[in-house]
Amino acid sequence: MLTYWNNYPTIQNKLQTVCSLIEERLKVENPDIQDALIEMTQAGGKFLRPAFFFFFSDLGNPEKQDSDQLIKIAASLELLHMATLVHDDIIDDSPLRRGVATIQSRFGKDIAVYTGDLLFTVFFDLIIETMNASEYMAVNALAMKQLLLGELNQMASRYNSKGSVENYLNNINGKTAELFSLACLEGAAFGQTSPEIVTQASEIGRNIGMAFQIFDDILDYTADKKELKKPVLEDFVQGVYTLPLLLAKEAQPDVFSPYFEKGSQVTLAEAEEVMKLVIKHGGVKQAKKYAQRYTNDALESIDRLPKSDTRKALKKLTTQLLIRTY
């Protein structure tokens, strides 16, 4: 649990406190569902959003900070993320998440829907406790709206053979980058940094989120199934056409046309053929350039932050996210 942060012991300790708070708040009468929720919390998630929250809060003034408030806001970010994962697994009919059976595969879609809803309510509880009557209630509401619109737009684009790179980027800006942006923004704001740093934090988080999702989609074509801890090629089989495929299709439309025509009837064997073709025709290579571009934009903005050990750590972490294997 949280071994990803072994080189950042201060952040790791804070994240452990966040994890404990989440477990404390996730109380249900059904012991099996209770265990599944705790297992999901502990099953190898990186806790990236609360981690970035803490990195940016570390840029502020400790004497003006409320440590209990910071822990609760960090937990709210992870809970919002967890809720979307539970609902994603229902939509995708995913059997695994982080190497363990998903809630929907263990208990059925009905229970999984309510479990995801419960996570949303705990998220609401925490933001009410920490930022009630502040402008950040509206900020959270807007972020959640953008996140869900990104997911809905992605669903509307399923099996769309005419899907574009622009449409893909718009979708991940909502469904992934928005929450990274929120995490960095709130870390800077509740960490009592300057208004200038708060603005920078939002921009940095958005670029990191874009790069993160693009690289995540690259891993769907390149990663080992055991290391990725979820089925590879899942997106393609589900009709979610991500950047590596879209770029390869732009280069060789005739090669990929027969597979797109299959739509929901595509087989796993055909999906594996597509994976090889995406790599052969430069889809992965070109997608990596997009991820690197967003990462470079984030790094340039980080360089404008005040000099500190935290700034160095942020640069290191942002760079590391492009060389991960899961």
CA distance 77 to 84: 11
CA distance 283 to 278: 5
First to last CA, the chain: 15
Count CB atoms within 10 A of the CB of residue 224.
11
**Between the CA of residue 253 and those of 61, 261, 281, what are the distances in Å?**
54, 12, 11
Q: Give the dihedral sign, CA 276/281/285/290.
A: negative
Q: Tens place of pLDDT for every residue, the chain, 326 residues?
A: 578 899 999 999 999 999 999 999 998 888 888 888 888 888 767 999 999 999 999 999 999 999 999 999 999 999 999 999 999 888 888 887 767 788 888 888 898 899 999 999 999 999 999 999 999 999 999 999 999 999 999 999 999 999 999 999 999 999 999 999 999 999 999 999 999 999 999 999 999 999 999 999 999 999 876 666 566 688 898 999 999 999 999 999 999 999 999 999 999 899 999 999 999 999 999 999 999 999 999 999 999 999 999 999 999 999 999 998 88
The pLDDT score that the predictor gives to residue 232 is 65
Q: Can you tell me whether residue 58 is helix, strand or coil?
A: coil
Prediction pTM value:
0.95
Q: Running DSSP on this structure, what letter comes out for residue 161?
A: T
The label of the residue with tokens 């903005």 reads: 301
Count CB atoms within 10 A of the CB of residue 236.
23
The pLDDT score that the predictor gives to residue 176 is 97
Helix or strand holding residue 101 (H, E): strand 100-101
CB 239 within 8 A of CB 262: no
Query: Which of 100-109 are b and which e, b meaning 16 or more Cβ less than 10 Å from the residue's Cβ?
Result: bbbbbbbbee
The pLDDT score that the predictor gives to residue 83 is 94
The pLDDT score that the predictor gives to residue 258 is 95
Q: Running DSSP on this structure, what letter comes out for residue 306?
A: P
CA distance 187 to 180: 11
The pLDDT score that the predictor gives to residue 36 is 81
The pair of structure tokens assigned to 131 is: 């930022």
The pLDDT score that the predictor gives to residue 257 is 96
The pLDDT score that the predictor gives to residue 230 is 60
CB 184 within 8 A of CB 205: yes
The pLDDT score that the predictor gives to residue 276 is 95
C-alpha 2 chain-centroid distance? 16
